[in-house]
Amino acid sequence: MRTNYCGAINTHYLNQTVILCGWVHRRRDHGGVIFIDLRDREGIVQIVCDPENAATFHVAEKIRNEYVLKITGVVRHRPEGTVNLTIHTGEIEVLVNSIEILNPSLTPPFQMDEENLSEAIRLEHRYLDLRRPAMQKNLRLRHKVTMAVRSYLDQQGFIDVETPILTKSTPEGARDYLVPSRVNDGHFFALPQSPQLFKQLLMVSGFDRYYQITRCFRDEDLRADRQPEFTQIDIETSFLSENEIMALMEEMIRNLFRDAIGIDLPAPFPRLSHEEAMFKYGSDKPDLRIPLAFTELTDLMQDVPFQVFRDVAQKQGGRVAALCVPKGGELSRKEIDDYTHFVAIYGAKGLAYIKINSLEKGMEGLQSPILKFLPENVIKAIIERTGAQAGDLIFFGADKAKVVNDALGALRVKIGHDRKLVSSEWKPLWVVDFPMFEWDDEDNRWKALHHPFTSPAEGHEDLLATDPGKALSKAYDMVLNGVEIGGGSVRIHRQEVQTKVFQALNISDEEANEKFGFLLNALQYGAPPHGGIAFGLDRIVAMMSGTDSIRDVIAFPKTQRAQCLLTQAPSAVEEKQLRELHIRLRNSGAIAT
């Protein structure tokens, strides 16, 4: 039906007859000559309809935007002064011999090159939105990334194995999506949050190196970088240490960025312990493009008259820290108030500050509501520790360590972007030495920081029973520009260690057997040492494409209310279907049809 893609024609095809198929991007009538920009997935080519060819000109007069055409014509140079070197086809045009309208189109709700579109309109008409060059480019990039991943892993001896989509509910992480079983009354499958347990079983089965580019499902509140269903590059391998796994995966990501978008990432990636990342940046996924770090002040505030700082400094688990903003003295009172409201989102009760107007004038050169509450020697120590210069501003956080880390960590990122302090480099790193557990105040028990199958660090196994809060793990996260793009760990391969972790998590033997009995049994049959990692494909492609939302790199995404505006899913179902599934609706607002 066609000889070439529209966007692939150039001067190599001069004087050749080509057959093209595509959509009308624009139709222009210039003094009797009709020009059509014909578009396909490779780009746009200019079509010229001359009135001397009466038959084709008559057809061209009927054509409107988004009609599907088949044209036959001869490639020729564009007239002098009309060349467009910004596109591949910009030096040529095609003089039409014949036109066939393969299908007309209604007037679309938006033009394919229109910007600042409502996302609701885009998602409602996603099949049209995907015609837009930006979206075509994003999904082509996604394809390129997945092909590069497969190529690398294949060369490294990994085997692509599919794992079940209908599986057992093990609600230790996010909320599961449940699927009722028709043939097993009152029982449910769950859609997998990840293939974690199955890929570990594949290691027990001796496959040694596994990968899968797979769909995962989590019924959780959504953000720009989250979807109820998302795609994971899932990897597991046997007989490698965490350092060997990290080196293998780091090389994959370097190859991926080089092959897909021509970016050379550093080698090796820097590493930060979880403790250092929280201490310096208040985040376990710090954006190293921002040259701001915390300054610890807790020890300085033990005996100051300022009660807000003193009480926090003397309290177990309290923290006082500072964030020095270069040239922050330029900030207006309103901007400072806005930042104060911003940190309140993260639980901060206020945001104290000191403006450094002049260092030469001593205390007279400083401006702050809290100066009268702090001794001069403490203020001098603050300035010395932060390295503050004239014109800078120092923000303070004082509260529980988690509140200070969350609030000042978020403020660091916001100020970095607001003040244009973010470098243009790509800044990857590994965050390592994560704690095994974190305390859950709501449930009054320890929870796994990553997942309960993560191996404790060397020498930390005994802490599982005696002091779980001090136990570190063999976990590692890959972070890029402040985004966690991958997380993994060495797994527990001995049944007795897995049992100790369940006990630390207050999971009884009965509950462990009910939820994970198949894994515990498998670990007793010669399970090899193994570990792995999972990368968020959607996040990686979104970063590469420069978009803020992973919805822009997913063909048919959901909204932040977990709805598909295109198909109007989720939707009510017929009463007959509910009866077959042994389900009766209790919520009167969700009546079946």
The tens digit of pLDDT for each residue in 461-503 reads 999 999 999 999 999 999 999 999 999 999 999 999 999 999 9
Mean pLDDT of 570-587: 91
The CA-based dihedral angle spanning residues 413, 417, 421, 422, taken in that order and rounded to the nearest 10 degrees: 80
- 127 domain residue, yes or no: no
pLDDT score at 590:
53
Question: Residues forming the annotated binding site?
Answer: 172, 218-220, 227, 450, 484, 491, 536-539
Domain boundary among 60, 84, 103: 103
State yes or no: pLDDT of 105 exceeds 60: yes
pLDDT score at 224:
61
On whether both 191 and 142 belong to a single domain, the answer is: yes
pLDDT score at 443:
83
State yes or no: pLDDT of 452 exceeds 70: yes
State yes or no: pLDDT of 336 exceeds 90: yes
On whether both 254 and 144 belong to a single domain, the answer is: yes
State yes or no: pLDDT of 506 exceeds 80: yes
Beta strands in 205-317 (DSSP E): 209-217, 229-238, 271-273, 294-296
Which of residues 2 and 223 earns the better pLDDT score?
2
On whether both 464 and 544 belong to a single domain, the answer is: yes
**Do 428 and 253 touch, CB atoms closer than 8 A?**
yes
pLDDT score at 115:
86
On whether both 347 and 385 belong to a single domain, the answer is: yes
Closest by CA to 525, choosing from 128, 153, 200, 151, is 200
Q: Which CATH number is 548's domain given?
A: 3.30.930.10
On whether both 388 and 434 belong to a single domain, the answer is: no
Q: Which amino acid is at 206?
A: G
pLDDT score at 172:
59
On whether both 375 and 414 belong to a single domain, the answer is: yes
- 445 domain residue, yes or no: yes
On whether both 86 and 153 belong to a single domain, the answer is: no
State yes or no: pLDDT of 135 exceeds 80: yes
Q: Which amino acid is at 276?
A: E
State yes or no: pLDDT of 437 exceeds 90: yes
Strand-by-strand arrangement of the 475-480 sheet:
159-160, 209-217, 229-238, 530-536, 483-490, 475-480, 428-432, 271-273
- 280 domain residue, yes or no: no
The tens digit of pLDDT for each residue in 10-63 reads 999 999 999 999 999 999 998 789 999 999 999 999 999 999 999 999 999 999
Please report which confidence band the pLDDT of residue 381 belongs to, taking 50, 70 and 90 as the band edges: very high
Domain boundary among 363, 392, 422: 422
- 197 domain residue, yes or no: yes
Neighbours of 567 (CB within 10 A): 10
Domain boundary among 58, 85, 103: 103
Which token pair is 41? 């997935």
Please report which confidence band the pLDDT of residue 588 belongs to, taking 50, 70 and 90 as the band edges: low
Question: Residues forming the annotated binding site for L-aspartate?
Answer: 172, 218, 450, 491
Mean pLDDT of 89-99: 97
On whether both 297 and 367 belong to a single domain, the answer is: yes
Please report which confidence band the pLDDT of residue 345 belongs to, taking 50, 70 and 90 as the band edges: very high
Give percent of the chain with pLDDT exceeding 90: 91
On whether both 256 and 299 belong to a single domain, the answer is: no
- 120 domain residue, yes or no: no
Question: Residues forming the annotated binding site for ATP?
Answer: 218-220, 227, 484, 536-539
Domain count, the chain: 3
- 592 domain residue, yes or no: no
Please report which confidence band the pLDDT of residue 174 belongs to, taking 50, 70 and 90 as the band edges: confident
- 128 domain residue, yes or no: no
On whether both 455 and 414 belong to a single domain, the answer is: no
pLDDT score at 84:
94
The tens digit of pLDDT for each residue in 538-549 reads 999 999 999 989
On whether both 300 and 409 belong to a single domain, the answer is: yes
> Which residues are CB-neighbours of 487 under 8 A, at least 6 positions away?
450, 475, 476, 477, 478, 533, 534
The tens digit of pLDDT for each residue in 258-308 reads 999 999 999 999 999 999 999 999 999 999 999 999 999 999 999 999 999
The alpha carbon of 310 is separated from its chain's Cα centroid by a whole number of angstroms, namely 39
Containing structural domain, residue 331: 290-422
Closest by CA to 172, choosing from 458, 502, 539, is 502
pLDDT score at 24:
97
**Do 476 and 534 touch, CB atoms closer than 8 A?**
no
Please report which confidence band the pLDDT of residue 386 belongs to, taking 50, 70 and 90 as the band edges: very high
State yes or no: pLDDT of 586 exceeds 90: no
Q: Which CATH number is 302's domain given?
A: 3.30.1360.30
pLDDT score at 440:
87
Q: Which CATH number is 95's domain given?
A: 2.40.50.140
pLDDT score at 433:
97
Largest CA distance in the chain: 94
pLDDT score at 589:
55
On whether both 13 and 93 belong to a single domain, the answer is: yes
pLDDT score at 170:
78
- 68 domain residue, yes or no: yes
